[in-house]
Amino acid sequence: MNEGIGARVLRKEDKRFITGEGRYTDDIVQPNQRYASFVRSPYAHAKIKKINKSAAEGMVGVEAVFDGKQLTGDGIGNIICGWMIHSKDGSPMNMGVWSALATETVRYVGDAVAVVVADTAANAKAAAEAVEVDYEELPSVIKPDAALEKSAPQIHDNAKNNLIFDWEIGEEKATDDAIKGAAHVVELDVTNNRLAPNAIEPRSAIAVYSKAEDHYTLYTTSQNPHVARLVLSAFYQVAPEHKLRVVAPDVGGGFGSKIYIYPEEIVCLWASMKTNCSIKWTAERSESFLTDAHGRDHVSNIKIGFDKNHKIVGLKVDTIANLGAYMSLFSSCVPTYLYATLLSGQYDIANIHCNVRTVYTNTTPVDAYRGAGRPEACYLVERAMETAARQLGTSPAELRRKNFVGSFPHQTPVIMNYDVGDFAANLDAAIKAADYGGFETRRAEAAKVGKLRGIGMSSYIEACGIAPSAAVGSLGAGVGLWESAEVRVNPVGTVEILTGSHSHGQGHETTFAQLVCDRFGLPADNVQVVHGDTDKVQFGMGTYGSRSGAVGMSAIAQALDKVEIKAKKIGAHMLEVKESDIVIEDGEVKVPGSNKVLGWHEVCLNAYTAHNLPEGMEPGLKEGSFYDPANFTFPAGTYICEVEVDPETGHTDIVQFVASDDFGTIVNPMIVEGQVHGGIAQGIGQALLEEVVYDDNGQLLTGSYMDYAMPRADDLPSYQVSHESTPCPSNPLGIKGCGEAGAIGSPPALINAITDAIGNNDLSMPATPAKVWAAIQAAGTKQAAE
Amino acid sequence: MYETKYHKASSADEAARLLAAAEDGKFLSGGQTLLPTMKQRLAAPTDLVDLSQIDAMKGITIDGKKITIGAVTTHAEVASSSELRDVCHSICDLAGMIGDPHVRNMGTIGGSIANNDPAADYPAAMMSLNAEIMTTKRTIAADDFFVDLFETALEDDEIITAISYTVPSKCGYAKFPHPASRYAMTGVFVSKNVDGTVRVGVTGAGASGVFRHEGMESALAGTWTADALKDCTVDANAMLSDIHADGAYRANLVKVLAGRAVASSC
């Protein structure tokens, strides 16, 4: 059975997940384990006047109660943002102080001010309620545009008017001139709604300090355990890097929210040392809503100028991005280099300018969430393109086609250099699959039964696999964005892959093994993937930004190259032939067309017995690689969504969803299709259902599933997913990445379909039935008035 | 959840005694509202007196057109009763729309009515069907039972034992679920009685909880069609308004769903 690249190998990891045998952080129990419960601010903005811990300290089972002054007094560092952005005037971003436990001021509801350590979770929670915090409430600001007003409350002393940075990209004057001279300008004000990440597994941590060894272990729900270890050591001074082991075991979904190092992990590690106990903390769902970094929350204006032939001459964007109360780890790069660099979309645009102001508000910190900046860019561009087609009276498909980048490589005015693609091929495939031309017939049929049918399109592009380390370093990144791999071949010929990537739903145990199957013809069952433990695996950068295929697997491929070369040398020596005559396939090392054949295991065993190696060769068969990408990769595609809206209730029924994607080489089509399905489901969630809402005082109104609407099976359609692939030229396997595309491409397709159906373009996400109904009423009133 | 003491009652009398003996007790039926509230620490009764195992309060009795449903009968039991469906399928359909299978297997009709959540389904049916709410102390007409949001005519130690109604000549229920909670954003139950009178019960929409709409009742008494409602008005200012929908939207839903309930009635 072929289990190599392109095979639909069933996921090896699913047996334990489906049978309830997964090993998540909260499943781990340590000897001498205690439980932490955090005292959190009930106010969006307040001064901490006094903390009285004595009642809590006297309660049953309580080991200790700590506050922020003790934490900072022990030299624990402030939480930082790891990507430096400079404002257009050259000044560095205004990063405010974020202590893992607030010392003087709380800045959002949920901000941690103290921690209780007790013998049971219930006792810890009871004592946390008994910690008396005397607050002096301060005025708060919630909306990003309001935060910039002069009268707005000041949240961090060093960020005047709550401005973190005022950044730009592209040529402003040239863009203004181009738009001024355009035959037609389309302009939209667009809000990108704030989302809560909602991983199935809440965040969790167990900190284990060994006084005898002066050594720390942290089990945690992390997408990048080595990055966590580095940051905890180098910046937060919790423990020296060589005395801290970070383990991210099975992790139940991340979507970005588990990239960052949160206050709870820092506090648990420190408190473990203070109490000499192991300390577990697992978020309740309410805490997840309050404290997991949120996503999106942009307010933007976009203008696109077209010439008389409908070619784009300029694109200009002004954005205010809400980063919440503190700058989370990668918060600064999301609304800048992961966002504005994609504003060229799939189009050949000579002039682009984007200005981004990021602001503090008294809300949960905002950081990368599935797509991270690219959904925001795609939503702006693709809504504006569909709007332009309507205004220009041309076909949305043909307006896009006319403006597509046609030759590669293509340098955009906003940094990105698109290496390869075939945008028209994906557009054509989507049009065909959706029977785009037959839509008007279907619209008429729907009208007969009182339904408003609409169709919408989105031709997205995104950037994955970020990116050459030197390049991102020059843009302000505090880390390199390569990936590591080690391939250990055992003496019996089985293989272990140690990867710096981390799987929290992606299926790496299967797809990474398929690379070995493909290379040597071994069964997938003979390959074990090891990840998520800094004691086992060499330093790695982890999994986010759809990078584990393009970057993580490239590192494995490079390590496999080295293994293959050495195995061929050994085989050639054993068979007494030239290395260049040797082929490794079907688990054999052989000279094709001859009787010179060795079993793979014979070569491997000889590598370790070292009884018959070429002269001077070291024993063993184990190779490593650090792969630093040469460029971003650029997945792209076209999505078409068709809806029927009930005009009486505003309910939207998605009756068709077509996705044609270019992900380059596909290792496991089943897993890739699953990624697309999941991504589109999240995009539909954003477009139809999900929104984090605060009241004017910063109280979270959508703090549970009673008010935060997640997509469910009956909200979602069956998807038609297909691929038109152009292999990526910059990495050895030709992979582009598929993890986020669905969440990037789908929201504009869906909103474009609804606005088409109801005849009113003034509609924001989430397009709830109430909003859609109101938009239908407004359109009707407008028509009547005309 | 704070610590609480659990008691299982085997009769309504015993339940009342157990509650009287508790410092700050609460009756527990299916627990589908009370337990999540306790888990969020928004309620902290010292004692829970479980009514759900009281045999005398279980089951569905059909006597000609007279239906009696025991208070601790679950939504799943109502939804799946073929005998009840034969005589009054709308009440079965309504029960089948409540929550999800977990909720329907635990939640009870008595618990739903006693809680009087403004977005619960059953109160609309009780109002429309002119049901009688039978308690350990008396029988209360639905019109008198539902007082305001989460407020009923029940006294603290009074327990619903059953509800009872006469099957109308026609009835139907239409619900528009809330996108997040799947409670009723609005639900309308319509009934046409043998004597030609009509009762319309509306849940999910009213600022003071479940209500009847007299304008629609008289319109439908004239003609039992959705079209008959076209000149009816629903006061948006008397509707709930929140982050999910404003009063105007809910007022619209009341009218739309009333029409759909009539269209689907039989």
Q: Is B266 an 8 Å CB contact of chain A?
A: no
DSSP of A82-128, one letter per residue? SB--B-TTSPBP-PPP--SS-SSEE-STT-EEEEEEESSHHHHHHHH
CA B84 to chain centre: 17
Res A465: pLDDT: 85
Give the closest-approach CA distance of B246 to chain A in angstroms.
8
Helix locations, A652-735, DSSP H: 669-684
Longest CA span, chain A = 93
The CATH number given to whatever domain includes residue B25 is: 3.30.43.10
DSSP code of residue B55 = G
CA distance A448 to A450: 6
pLDDT tens sequence across A32-50 = 999 999 999 999 999 999 9
Torsion of CA A465, A466, A468, A469, to 10 degrees: -130
B148 in any annotated domain: no
**Cβ(B119)–Cβ(B130) under 8 Å?**
no
Q: Which of B2, B40, B245 sits opposite A770 (nearest CB)?
A: B245
Residue carrying structure tokens 């995009």: A683
- Tokens for A348, please give them: 């050949």
Domain limits for position B43: 5-50
CA distance A71 to A274: 10
Residue carrying structure tokens 């159906």: A757
Does A1 have pLDDT greater than 80? no
- Tokens for A546, please give them: 């759809």
Q: Is A653 an 8 Å CB contact of chain B?
A: no
pLDDT band at B144 (very low <50, low <70, confident <90, very high): very high
**Cβ(A83)–Cβ(A332) under 8 Å?**
yes
CA distance A432 to A57: 68
B61 in any annotated domain: no
Does A466 have pLDDT greater than 90? no
Q: Which residues pair with A168 in a beta bridge?
A: A355
Chain A contact set for B244 (CB, 8 A): 707, 768, 770
- Tokens for A536, please give them: 């086992």
**Cβ(A660)–Cβ(A724) under 8 Å?**
yes
Q: Is B243 an 8 Å CB contact of chain A?
A: yes
CB-based contacts of B43-48 (< 8 A; 24+ apart in sequence): B44/B2, B44/B4, B45/B4, B46/B4, B46/B5, B46/B22, B47/B4, B47/B5, B47/B6, B47/B7, B47/B18, B47/B19, B47/B22, B47/B23, B48/B4, B48/B5, B48/B6, B48/B7
- Strand-pair category, B5-8 with B47-50: parallel
Chain B contact set for A774 (CB, 8 A): 246, 248-249
pLDDT tens sequence across A618-653 = 999 999 999 999 999 999 999 999 999 999 999 999
pLDDT tens sequence across A75-88 = 999 999 999 999 99
**Cβ(B61)–Cβ(B68) under 8 Å?**
yes
pLDDT tens sequence across A538-547 = 999 999 999 9
**Cβ(A348)–Cβ(A323) under 8 Å?**
no
Calculate helix-pair angle for A508-520, A553-575, nearest 10 degrees.
30
- Flag if B243 and A693 touch (Cβ within 8 Å): yes
Give the closest-approach CA distance of A471 to chain B in angstroms.
43
pLDDT tens sequence across A576-590 = 999 999 999 999 999
pLDDT band at B1 (very low <50, low <70, confident <90, very high): confident
B56 in any annotated domain: no
Residue B191 sits at φ, ψ, to 5 deg, of: -135, 135
Q: What is the mean pLDDT of residues A141-150?
A: 96
Spatial CA neighbour of A748 closest among A249, A335, A378 = A378
CA distance B146 to A393: 56
pLDDT band at B74 (very low <50, low <70, confident <90, very high): very high
**Nearest chain A residue (CA) to B253:** A649
CA distance A581 to A710: 58
Q: What is the mean pLDDT of residues A548-559?
A: 97
Work out how many domains chain B is built from and give that number. 2
**Cβ(B131)–Cβ(B110) under 8 Å?**
no
Q: Is A768 an 8 Å CB contact of chain B?
A: yes
Q: Is A648 an 8 Å CB contact of chain B?
A: yes
Q: Which of B40, B249, B253 sits opposite A774 (nearest CB)?
A: B249
pLDDT tens sequence across B107-127 = 999 999 999 999 999 999 999
Structural domains in chain A, sorted by start: 15-138+201-252+258-291 (3.90.1170.50), 140-192+295-418 (3.30.365.10), 419-456+634-786 (3.30.365.10), 482-627 (3.30.365.10)
Non-local CB neighbours of A77 within 8 Å, separated by 6+ positions? A235, A236, A237
Element (H, E) at A273: helix A263-275
- Flag if B252 and A706 touch (Cβ within 8 Å): no
B26 in any annotated domain: yes
Q: Distance of CA A254 to CAs A201, A257, A349, Å?
A: 8, 5, 35
Q: Which of residues 69-128 of A touch B (CB under 8 A)?
A: 122, 126
Cα radius of gyration (chain B)? 18
**Cβ(A400)–Cβ(A385) under 8 Å?**
yes
**Cβ(B90)–Cβ(B80) under 8 Å?**
no
B184 in any annotated domain: yes
- Flag if B252 and A701 touch (Cβ within 8 Å): no
B139 in any annotated domain: no
CA distance A698 to A107: 10
Does A378 have pLDDT greater than 90? yes
Q: Which of B2, B180, B249 sits opposite A770 (nearest CB)?
A: B249
B156 in any annotated domain: no
Non-local CB neighbours of A701 within 8 Å, separated by 6+ positions? A693, A694, A695, A707, B243
Contacts across the A-B interface (CB distance below 8 Å): 48
CA A472 to chain centre: 17
The CATH number given to whatever domain includes residue B202 is: 3.30.390.50
Q: Which residues pair with A764 in a beta bridge?
A: none
pLDDT tens sequence across A469-482 = 999 999 999 889 99
B105 in any annotated domain: no
- Tokens for A758, please give them: 């109801």
- Cα first-last separation, chain B: 45
pLDDT tens sequence across A489-499 = 999 999 999 99
pLDDT tens sequence across B164-221 = 999 999 999 999 999 999 999 999 999 999 999 999 999 999 999 999 999 999 999 9
